[in-house]
Amino acid sequence: MKPAETKTTNKEFENEKVPDKALKKWTHFLGMYAGEHAAGTEFIIGPLFLTTGVSAFDLLAGLLIGNLLAVLSWRFLTAEIAVKYRFTLYHHLEKITGAKLVKLYNIANGVLFCFLAGAMITVSATAVGIPFNMEMPQLKDTLPNGIIWVLVVLILGLLFSLIAANGFATVSKAANYMAPFIILAFVICGFVALNQLDVGSFIDFWAIWGKGSTPFPGQIKYTFWHVCFWSWFANAAMHIGMSDLSVFRYAETPSAGWATAVGMYIGHYIAWIAAALLYAVYIQSPEAQAFLAKGAAPSVAPGPLAYNAIGVFGILAVVLAGWTTANPTIYRAGLAFQTLFPKRSTFWVTMVAGGVATTAGLFPAFAMKLLDFVSLYGFILSPVGAIIVFQHFFGKRFNIPDYLEFPLDKGFNWNVLWAWTLSIVVFYGISVQLDLFLSFLTLPTWISCGLIYLLFSKFLNKLSSLKNKSTTDG
């Protein structure tokens, strides 16, 4: 047997369809999405909602509707297309956009995923640093605040990267093992916080948020629509942006897309609310009140919040929660970078992605401004997913070539570049000029990108046909 033939245990099928023998049952996705979305970032997103002064109705109803829309996006767009073609996002795009343009996208995609994973490493670091009496980052901090912080982040980043570099099977296995433990921790934290807040009825619970409050310094006021659209597009790059083609290509049927509901309603609903309750307890403390009295925002460090509620169990929960979220994010970033270095092993390319994520984790700003960052990265990346969706559903109607059957023979599909660039520039400009919440414009940007791609492709293909006909007639 040749040496190359022995390498089967870590084969990731980056540039080919996933074969039937490698398909995973729906339970693999259940555990993976439960672990990824009942995770470290939930410990910080919940408190950040409170800093926006959101009301009880707006938070609960907004999360309910927004997360449902996210699940539907995964099930009927991402999983449907992933199971039909079984390509990674990057291989899929390469056939449509050309090899050169897809590299530009992959750089943006990989780097932004690394920044997101870095925020998750930051979250776990706030828990690991507790026994060392580490100074916690504040809401407005951007730079590392000490040598202990740097060492903790570097060690965690190495561990997280090693898990991700061992491939999809290892990532999903880690999530399956840890998800029940993390979910239990969130539930316990929520009940402990309710007890500390002297909540004895639903009316008492409702009164915690009531009609909302004045946003903390540097934050904007959130309404129902802010919460709904933000929660829908918190993972825009994964569902309407099609990044999770790389995950669901392993699914036996598109119904595996429903597994995302576990992540959305246990993680993005129960966990966010539980974490917000922890922060509600902290806000009442003398330390937090002292910050507010000075016109400053209290710290939003997840580690101490969980530790104050459930002790060492809370520290472990935050660390493992960050781990299970950073793993698939670094894995996705590694696949993006793999297309730039096809001759390099997936393991080492993923380790490089982990190194970038760890470096980002040193800077607390990515975690402390997570609401804004998540909106921005979804806004930038998701429109490219519209190219795949509109090609899949409307390509034949617009007489656009089936690039998956006959890949683009040029290195650059200008129709894609113009559609992506124009949609982002126009709608980001609208956001700045009118001071509009960026998540409100993610869907219009996505739809515009798909429409511009179809119209440009149809028009240029028609011109090309007329030119060829004229040449032939001549």
The pLDDT of residue 168: 59
Backbone angles phi, psi at 302, to 5 degrees: -65, -40
pLDDT given at position 167: 65
Provide the whole-model pTM.
0.84
What average pLDDT score do residues 70-99 get? 91
List of residues 6+ apart from 3 with CB closer than 8 A: none
Per-residue pLDDT for 469 more than 60? no
Average pLDDT over residues 267-293: 87
β-strand partners of 24: 251
pLDDT at 368 (0 to 100): 80
Range of lowest pLDDT (53-67, 248-262, 398-412, 449-463) = 398-412
- Are 124 and 40 spatial neighbours (Cβ–Cβ below 8 Å)? yes
CA angle 243–244–247, rounded 5-degree value: 135
- Using 50, 70 and 90 to split pLDDT, how confident is the model at 154? very high
Which tokens is 235 given?
């993972």
When mean pLDDT is compared over 2-6, 32-36, 276-280, 464-468, the highest value belongs to 276-280
What pLDDT is stored for residue 3 in this prediction? Answer: 33
pLDDT band at 448 (very low <50, low <70, confident <90, very high): very high
What is the pLDDT at residue 230?
A: 96
86-91 mean pLDDT: 86
34 or 265: which carries more pLDDT confidence?
A: 265
Give the architecture (CATH level 2) of 21-371.
Orthogonal Bundle (1.10)
Please say if the pLDDT value at position 292 is more than 60: yes
Distance of alpha carbon 82 from alpha carbon 98, whole angstroms: 20
Percent of the chain surpassing pLDDT 90: 32
